[in-house]
Amino acid sequence: MAKVFKAKSRRGSAEHQARIPVELSIDTLDYHGIGVCLSTVPITLVSGGLPNERLLVSLHKSGTKVQTARIKQIIEASEQRQAAFCQHYDQCGGCSMQHLSQAQGISQKTQALKAHLAHKLALSEDTWQPSIESPPQYRRKVRLSVDARNPKQVKIGYRVVNSNTVVDISACAILTLPLQKAIFSILPHIKLLPSVRNIGHLVFFESIDGVSMAVHCSKKLRDNDASSLAALAKQLQIDLRVLHKQEDKTCEASKPLRVKGYQEQNLQQSLQVGMSDFVQINEAVNQQMLVRAIAWLSPTKQDIVYDFFAGAGNFSLAMAARAAQVYAYEVSDNMVKRCQENAQFNGLGKVSATKADLDAENELSTVSLQKDALVVLDPARSGAKRLSEKLAKSSVRKVLYVSCNPSTFVRDLGIMRETFRVEKICTLDMFPFTEHMEVMALLVRKK
């Protein structure tokens, strides 16, 4: 019987190559803090790699321009490499840059973004202002997943990166100290509840009023479990909210929490938010951001301010303390209501909140921009492409753009570059020890 030769498929060959360790050197970091090797074709991104390190890696994903790899062995470590301070770092998906100091993390990500913007937008070095730094215990709100499939080994914690696997945590040093104390006092009790399998996840939030905990259940807890949990929460001074999947969540909205808004010597604003509302999780950086935003935009009693993607009114209230009028736009009915209520709560009648989908051309067309107005926009990761196009054709005087995604930020600034010049820009270390970084820029109309 004749034997017919069959060549191995390209896919099989590629998979075989991916299993072969490759030695390479890291040249720099990108603005996500990921190591970059420029000498390979295509270039290789290595999460956890640092400049001047020699690594043994295995290829993970390959593309025409970029391939990614995972570290198998550090052959020669950088002098900047440090031991992670968290015992769960190697498994947990919460942090990705504990191998580098906090100061070096924001510094190197900022330098990478500077180089990127210089290349893409010809942005000069003198426009850059100092980064807004963060305390190490910064996170005031956190969601923890519950895996109770094995009642003898209940896991509560963060998920592994790109996985549904829950890492059972016994500490988390990036949380604010009140959150740390509350969470690790009550988690052991929750694990022992007979109906713990009914719990999907937990949300903890530190506000002006203290620590609150929302227990999100797929089914109701047993009566004894609910009462014992309530008793312990009361003892630990934790505001407990138990939410059931099949029930209306309006009970959550009836118990808003207070968080600090814009603060200055004779002005202490506060915002009321719900447990599920978006709020900046880093209070210290948020406060510095608001102060710098006011200083850069410099609103006066003659100015009209537009706050796009306004949320609960974080920027709207700060601007309303100085401006003649603030028009806030937000896509969520709940957040529009929250923004308006927060303005009233702070005695600010100069805020008008309106619902609008700023990504929808028909709704954006109804927004009329006054000449020489000031604009604040703080969009989601998808950015504000349509709004940027509208602003580029407008006669507004200044635009303050806050972004959580440098990629869409660069795209949108490119759209507005013919109309505005970037006068000031800085990074914000909103999420230390992670790949994330926020950026804020002041755009001024060209003469």
Annotated binding site: 280, 309, 330, 378
Q: Is 107 helix (H, G, I), strand (E, B) or coil?
A: helix
Q: Residue 42, preceding bond cis, omega within 30 degrees? A: yes
C-alpha torsion 82→84→90→91, nearest 10: -160
Nearest residue to 416 via CA among 403, 429, 426: 403
Amino acid at 131: S
Nearest residue to 309 via CA among 286, 338, 276, 332: 332
Q: Chain centroid to CA 155: how far?
A: 25
Is there a contact between 214 and 207 (Cβ–Cβ < 8 Å)?
no
Residues tagged active-site: 404
Q: What six digits make up the tokens of 417?
A: 């570059």
Question: At a CB cut-off of 8 Å and minimum separation 6, what does 5 contact?
Answer: none
Residue 150, H or E segment: none
State the binding site for S-adenosyl-L-methionine. 280, 309, 330, 378
Residue ranges of alpha helices (H) inside 262-416 are 283-297, 314-320, 333-345, 361-364, 385-392, 406-416
CB neighbours of residue 219 within 10 Å:
13
Burial pattern 136-167, b for ≥16 Cβ within 10 A else e, equals: ebbbbbbebbbbbeeeeebbbbbbeeeeeebb
Determine the Cα–Cα distance for residues 376 and 392; give it in Å rounded to an integer. 14
3-state secondary structure labels for all residues of 177-199 = HHHHHHHHHHHHHHHCCCCHHHE
Residue 155 phi, psi (nearest 5) = -115, 130
